Chains A and B, each alone.
Chain A
Amino acid sequence: MAFFQWRRFNFFELLKETDNGTLDRSFKDVTITCSSSGRGHLILGDNLGLVHLFDRQYQRESFKAYNVNTSHVLQLKQSSFLGTVGEDDPGINPVIKIWNLEKRDVHGCPVCVHLVRALPGNRPVPVTAFTIDEQMHLMAAGFADGSIVLYRGDLSRERHSKQKFLQAGTSLISGLCLRTTQKMSHLYVATLSTVVMYTIVSKDKEQFSQLDTVGCSPGCFAFADSKQGQHFMIARNDAVYCYTVEGRGPCYAFEGEKLDLHWFRGYLIIVSKIAGKGDADSDKTTVTIFDVNNKFIAFTAPIAKAYRVISEWGSLLVLTKDKNIHQLMEKDLHTKLDILFKKNLYDVAIRVAKSQQYDIEGLMEIFKLYGDHLYAKGNHSGAMEQYLKTIGRLEPSYVIKKFLDAQRIHQLTAYLQELHKQGLASEDHTTLLLNCYTKLRDTDRLNQFLNTKDQRSEFDVETAIRVCRQAGYFEQALRLAEDRGKHEWHLKILLEDLSDYRQALDYIQKLPPDLAKVNLQEYGNVLLEELPDETTKLLLDLCCSKGNNNELCDPEEFLLLFINRNEKLVEFLEKVLQVHPNSNSSLHFALLEQYLLMWTKNIANPELEKKITLLLQNSSVLGAADRALFLCQTHKFRPGILFIFEKTKLYGELLHFYANEHNFESVISTCRRFGQQEPSLWVRALTLSTSNDKVTTECLAEILASIEKHKLLPALRVIEMLSRSPNATLGLARDYLIRTLQSDQSNISEDERLIQQYRQETEAVREKIKDIKTSALVFQGSKCNVCNQPLELPSVHFLCLHSFHQHCFDSYADNENECPACHTENKRILDIVRAQEQSKDLHEAFHGQLEKADDPFTVLADYFGRGVFNSLPSWETAISGHQSIRTDLSSVAWGPQNAGPGFEAKLRKSEGKSSANLTGFTNEGRVRLQENASIRPTRIDVTEGRLRNAEVIGAVERAASNIAAATTSEARHRLQEGTNAKNFLTTPVEIPRQTVVTQSATSVPNYVGAVKAVGASGSSEFSTSLRKSSHLSLRKAYGNQTNAEPENPFKEDTYDEAKNPFADEQSSNPFGDDEDDYNDSLNPFAE
């Protein structure tokens, strides 16, 4: 037969007699008249007026609905209400009842909530169709005479409802169906001969419309609610016809006498008689299940005596005339798909999967299988169609590989295109796609692809450009680069592929300066090569454009570009520096270098020289003069060298430069010009001229004159230097020597005179002390030094010539042995001496400091001042050594221009003697005090020591000042405080034995050398020898020391006058000046 031409599958499983005979037992002698289902129950009515509810386990619950007979049951799906039609009295009009299955009366029966007679006119007619709207506001009953009664009202609550009589025709009503869609209800009516519809718009208004002129037999209708729309279906012998609100819909041809029609989840189930010829009895029936949307038959099988299909419990129940229930279970989706895959019916599988809301992954898998299947069959484009649908889930390489292997470029292109469209393409995909385009020479598509502005189909631009370039699609690559702002690529293509330098330059010009800069750095070289003028101009614009106030580029970054293009570089730099004269010095230097290069090639170019000199004058060039000098020197640019020497005050170098040129006129003139600022230039000039045989005697004479005038060098040294000179004559030096020796001679005699004088003075002091010690002293003080009142007995007198009232003394004196006026000062000094003791033995610290010091001499002097060379015995032990203490004071003072040299010698000498140079003063004072303690009655004696002490302190302080002045002001400061004065304090204590005239030292500030104490014969010898030697030797000694070589400070070397800190101006020694500096009046004990 032609009818089964839809594909047929077996998607349902038939389970026979699932009720295990329950139905047969329950309805032994009764007839099942009607059936319904819903809310977990199968509901059957019988000819005794009973209604039976079966649950899934076929547990039965029955209640009496009518006295005579139940003809219709209808279970609502959305509520627990059950509608029934039946007869309570035979021969009288049927009654419609609505039951609430959830409400039970006392007997456990459902409550009847609505009861109404089904009476179309004035005579009883059997009800043939019955329907209730799910919302329970409408209900309709159809009768055998073609009339319909429509009931309106709230059927679930009100006991009565409004009735409306409708006449659909004259033939029996075989089916009714009520559907409500937003405020509008439709009543579909099928009669034996027509299909009509009432549109129920408002309370009592119905619009009639005829849908068809052919009808169906009772029960052969269904209502389909699917994605394809709502259809009222009726079954006739030739086909199943569908109707919509608008009229006729599709129809499905299916021949045979239909017994029942049912709609279940998109399936149309038809129970029909097998059209057997002759014995067309009702026993041979078949059940067919159509999948209307997917156009196949999901199940078909002959099931004997079937007459009704209802759906419940997730499956289909087939009721048979012999009171059996067969169940049709739908197979699960996977089983169904497997069946379809086995038959290679992938397209059907896809449709089925889609209609059952299969998940995306599953669908993709089917697409892939389908694709694979088609591919295997050689249907590449069909396969690609399927593969395209897998994009996003299936690994693209799987598909790409298949089509690459098969050289199916067109399909491959389609696939890659889709990948891009969905934004899933990788760089490789882009490359491949573009390769496909270029291989196919499909310029249109290529352009289209490249020009697409679709955000989703974004691709890797660089890859695209690369592929285009490789394939020779420069134009496309260029456009792409420009559109996407890939400036480097754009330029690369222009320069490397198209060699269109001018356009490249124009392009750069249009870029914002920062990008232009980067790109110029990259490609400037090539551009300068090809278009030197334009490129230079562009660079200049970038570095110093006037118009826009964009940030200007740093010209320095472009310098590299000009390698081997010197003229352009000069042009560039000149312009840049013209606009920005204060640019970075490196620019200046670059220009300088270029100039110098040019100069070496073209020496006699005054213009160029002028330019260079001008450039050299620039502050940023002078700021790094050494560099400029280096440049000038490497290029032997004399004017520049001279200029720089002069500018940077390197006059010495200037002299050397001239001397090397044997240009002594210039040497002399330089000395003349700058000698005022730097007198040592003359000395240097002398050194230079003595080592050069081209020098003229006039020059030498002038040098010598200047040296003499400014006393720049000691005579001995001058002689020494001259002796080295090849062309210096004795005659030249003679006058000079005579003059010098004369002045030396006079100095020496002056010194000797002074020594004599000091010796005498010392003698006088010694006498005085002796006097004090031995002869009586008259105290003539008339006033008390405390209260300033005339002295009265009892009074106290001290050798320091202070006198006090006894009571004044008592109230002021801490100690009766000490003069309260002198006490504070004495105590202070004693405290200082004591404090000194603590830090004297820190040898390591001393060595450390000495090694690290810039000027070890200062350190030495400092420690010398602290008395580091003295071994300071305790007060007590000193007593014993008192008599043997022999101090050889080396009290030094020297004048400014020749200070220092002697000091080191002294230092060493006193170091050698330091062991013997013990503290005298305090010890002695102590001794005296102790002595005096025993002769207490004569107070005068007791304080004798104090007097001397005080006196000596004054002297020592002054001596200390002088020494300090020769070292550093720091040392001096400390010395003045007395903190480090031990060494000097010790000395005057020895006055009784060996007099040292310290005080007088201050009065000979300009004296060279040392004032020697001459008490001891050994030391006098020394001093004599010292005196005999000229101060030149002293100077030499000093020079050794200043050589700043800690390991051997006395190593022989040339003496550098300039480095002598003591050779400075006179004024710089505040203590070397004169004695005015020391204020006598501040010393209360200085007489």
Chain B
Amino acid sequence: MSYAYLFKYIIIGDTGVGKSCLLLQFTDKRFQPVHDLTIGVEFGARMITIDGKQIKLQIWDTAGQEAFRSITRSYYRGAAGALLVYDITRRDTFNHLTTWLEDARQHSNSNMVIMLIGNKSDLESRREVKKEEGEAFAREHGLVFMETSAKTAANVEEAFINTAREIYEKIQEGVFDINNEANGIKLGPQHLPSNANTPSGGASASQGGSCC
């Protein structure tokens, strides 16, 4: 499948906040009630459309457990977007956000778009973290905020797509250097040659590239 851009995402947050579930809901549109710990890093991909452009999202779902931190850290680099997830029913996961944020800022490139997500919004009765608190935290740290539910799929699409839109806008603004893969952005196969073949120019440029 061809795409205009490829964005790399990373999902981070404490264990059990529902990172894997969010990914599964986004890629497979299903919910997994049993907690399968992520040991290491899992991987998912899906195609979305923004501004009429096909964009492939490559998503790393990292293990939240402290023990895996060293492994997962190596994945921060080369991510254009990050979903920082906490569980609205567990205050400690919210309290850990600062640590996660520091870690992310430290190991990723500075332009990385970070979306703060308060997950399990379906469990309103067990809520421990108010929505306003999440909003406040996001405002404070310059993040985008959203409450989601991986179970009911509420806001899941939006979370991923809004992040992509943010990245896309940053590309349009020229904030991202799209030719540096370490930024977590890659041009699609048919877009690469147009840069390489600029001298030949003209209409044939876009199609002629792929032959070599």
User: Which residues of A are in contact with B by a Cβ distance under 8 Å?
Assistant: 2-3, 5-6, 238-240, 242, 246, 248-254, 295, 347-348, 382
Please determine whether B67 and A239 come into contact, CB atoms closer than 8 angstroms. Answer: no
A253 with B63, Cβ < 8 A, contacts A5-B39, A248-B75 known: yes
Mask, B9-49, CB within 8 Å of A = 1, is 00000000000000000000000111011011111000000
Query: How near does chain B come to A182, taking the closest CB pair, in angstroms?
Result: 15
The 4 nearest A-B residue pairs measured at CB? A2-B67, A253-B40, A251-B40, A250-B43
Closest CB-CB distance, A819 to chain B, in whole Å?
Answer: 131
Q: A238-B70, A253-B63 are in contact. Are A3 and B33 (CB under 8 A)?
A: no
Cβ distance B106 to chain A, nearest Cβ, rounded Å: 18
30 A-B contacts, Cβ less than 8 Å apart? A2-B66, A3-B39, A3-B67, A5-B39, A238-B71, A239-B40, A239-B71, A240-B40, A242-B43, A248-B75, A248-B78, A249-B43, A250-B40, A250-B41, A250-B43, A251-B40, A251-B41, A251-B71, A252-B40, A253-B40, A253-B63, A253-B67, A253-B68, A253-B71, A254-B39, A254-B40, A295-B36, A295-B37, A347-B32, A382-B33
A911 to B153, CA, bound (A): 123
Q: Which residues of B contact A251 (CB under 8 A)?
A: 40-41, 71
Q: A248-B75, A249-B43, A253-B68 known; 8 other A-B pairs, CB under 8 Å?
A: A2-B66, A2-B68, A5-B37, A6-B36, A238-B70, A239-B40, A251-B71, A252-B40
* A252–B39 touching, CB < 8 Å: yes
- Bound complex: CA A5 to CA B68 (Å): 12
**What's the Cα separation between A252 and B58 when bound, in Å?**
18
CA A249 to CA B37, docked complex, whole Å: 18
Which residues of A have CB within 8 Å of B194? none
Distance of A294 from chain B, by nearest CB (Å): 9
Chain A contacts of B109 at CB under 8 A? Answer: none
B155 within 8 A of A: no
B75 partner residues in chain A, CB cutoff 8 A = 248
Inside 8 A of A382's CB, which chain B residues have their CB?
A: 33
Q: Which one, B37, B60, B70, contacts A6 given CB within 8 A?
A: B37
* Chain A contacts for B162, CB-based, 8 A: none
Residues in B whose Cβ lies below 8 Å from that of A253: 39-40, 63, 67-68, 71
B72 to chain A, nearest CB (A): 9
CA of A379 to CA of B106, assembled, Å: 44
How many whole Å from B37's CB to the nearest CB in chain A? 5
Consensus secondary structure, chain A interface: mixed
* In the complex, residue of chain B having the shortest beta-carbon distance to the beta carbon of A231: B43
A249 vs B66: C-alpha distance when bound (angstroms): 21
Task: For the complex, give the distance between the alpha carbons of A3 and B78 in Å.
Answer: 26
Chain B residues in 8 Å Cβ range of A252 = 39-40
Contacts of B33 in A (CB 8 A): 347, 382
Chain A residue at minimum C-beta to C-beta distance from B68: A253
| Min C-beta distance of A257 to chain B, whole Å | 16
Q: Does B65 contact A (CB under 8 A)?
A: yes
How far is B78's CA from A246's CA once the two chains are assembled, in angstroms? Answer: 13
- Chain B residues with Cβ below 8 Å from A242 are 43
Partner of A347, one of B34, B42, B67, B71: B34
A708 to B39, CA, bound (A): 139
Closest A residue, CB atoms, query B63: A253
In the complex, the answer to whether A250 meets B67 with C-beta atoms within 8 Å is no
Residue of A with least CB distance to B41? A251
**Residue of chain B at shortest CB distance from A246:** B58
- Let me know if B65 and A2 touch, CB within 8 A: yes
A251's nearest neighbour on chain B, judged by CB, is B40
Contacts of B66 in A (CB 8 A): 2
A348 to B34: give the CA distance in the assembly, Å.
Answer: 9
Distance of A493 Cα from B66 Cα, bound (Å): 69
Residues of chain A with a CB closer than 8 A to B68's CB: 2, 253
Tell me how far the C-beta of A923 lies from the nearest C-beta in chain B, rounded to whole angstroms. Answer: 128
- A948 → B minimal CB distance (Å): 133
Q: Which residues of A contact B40 (CB under 8 A)?
A: 239-240, 250-254
A931 and B36 alpha carbons, distance in the complex (Å): 148
Residues of A within 8 Å of B58, CB to CB, are 246
Q: Which residues of A contact B67 (CB under 8 A)?
A: 2-3, 253
User: Which residues of chain A are near B78, meaning CB under 8 Å?
Assistant: 248
For B39, the chain A residues whose CB sits under 8 A away are 3, 5-6, 252-254
Q: Across the interface, which residues of B come within 8 angstroms of A3, CB to CB?
A: 39, 67
Q: Which residues of B contact A254 (CB under 8 A)?
A: 39-40
Residue ID in chain B nearest A4 by CB atoms = B39
Q: How far is the CA of A2 from the CA of B60 in the complex (A)?
A: 21
Contacts of A239 in B (CB 8 A): 40, 71
Contact flags B196-208 to A (C-beta < 8 A → 1, else 0): 0000000000000
Q: How far is the CB of B122 from chain A (nearest CB, A)?
A: 12
CA distance A348 to B32 in the complex (A): 11
Q: How distant is the Cα of A822 from the Cα of B63 in the complex, in angstroms?
A: 147
Q: Smallest CB–CB gap between B165 and chain A, Å?
A: 23
Q: Is the CB of B42 within 8 A of A250?
A: yes
Give chain B residues whose Cβ lies under 8 Å from the Cβ of A249. 43
Q: Which residue of B lies closest to A212 (CB)?
A: B74
Question: Bound complex: CA of A253 vs CA of B63, how far in Å?
Answer: 9
Chain B residue contacts of A5, Cβ below 8 A:
37, 39, 65
Give the CA-CA distance A656 to B38 in the complex, in Å. 118
Look across to chain A and name the residue whose beta carbon is closest to the beta carbon of B75.
Answer: A248
Q: Which single residue of chain A is at the shortest CB-CB distance from B70?
A: A238
Give min CB distance, A1028 to chain B, whole Å.
131
Residue among A246, A249, A251, A295 facing the most chain B CB atoms (10 A cut-off)? A251
C-alpha spacing A259/B42, complex, angstroms: 24
In the bound assembly, the distance between CA atoms of A348 and B37 in angstroms comes to 14
What CA separation (Å) do A153 and B53 show in the bound complex? 42
How far does the Cβ of A249 sit from chain B's closest Cβ, in whole Å? 5
Q: What's the least CB distance linking B64 to chain A, in Å?
A: 12
CA distance in complex: A382, B71 (Å) = 35
| Residues from chain A with Cβ under 8 Å of B41 in the complex | 250-251
Complexed CA–CA distance, A252 and B37 (Å): 11
Please report the C-alpha to C-alpha distance between residue A209 and residue B149 in the assembled complex, in whole angstroms: 39
Interface centre among A242, A246, A250 (most CB of B within 10 A): A250
Across-interface contacts of B34 in A (CB, < 8 A): 347-348
A252 to B, closest residue via Cβ: B40
Cα(A122)–Cα(B58), bound, Å: 44
In the docked arrangement, what's the CA distance between A253 and B75, Å? 13
- Complex CA distance for A307 and B18, rounded to whole angstroms: 38
Q: Which residues of B contact A246 (CB under 8 A)?
A: 58
User: Which A residue sits closest to B20, measured CB to CB?
Assistant: A295
Complex CA gap A249/B58 in Å reads 10
Chain B residues with CB below 8 A from A347, complex form: 32-34
- A246 vs B63: C-alpha distance when bound (angstroms): 22
Q: CB-CB < 8 A to B65: which residues of A?
A: 2, 5
A131 to chain B, nearest CB (A): 25
Q: Which of B39, B70, B78 has the most CB of A within 10 A?
A: B39
**Within the assembled complex, what's the spacing in Å between the Cα atoms of A327 and B58?**
39
Cβ–Cβ < 8 Å partners of B43 in chain A: 242, 249-250
Within the complex, what minimum Cβ distance (angstroms) separates A256 from chain B? 13
| Distance of B99 from chain A, by nearest CB (Å) | 18
The interface residues of chain A lying within 8 Å CB-to-CB of B36 are: 6, 295
Which of B37, B43, B65 is packed against the most chain A CB atoms within 10 Å?
A: B43
Q: What distance in Å separates the Cβ of A197 from its nearest Cβ neighbour in chain B?
A: 14
**Closest residue to A236 on the B side, CB-wise?**
B71
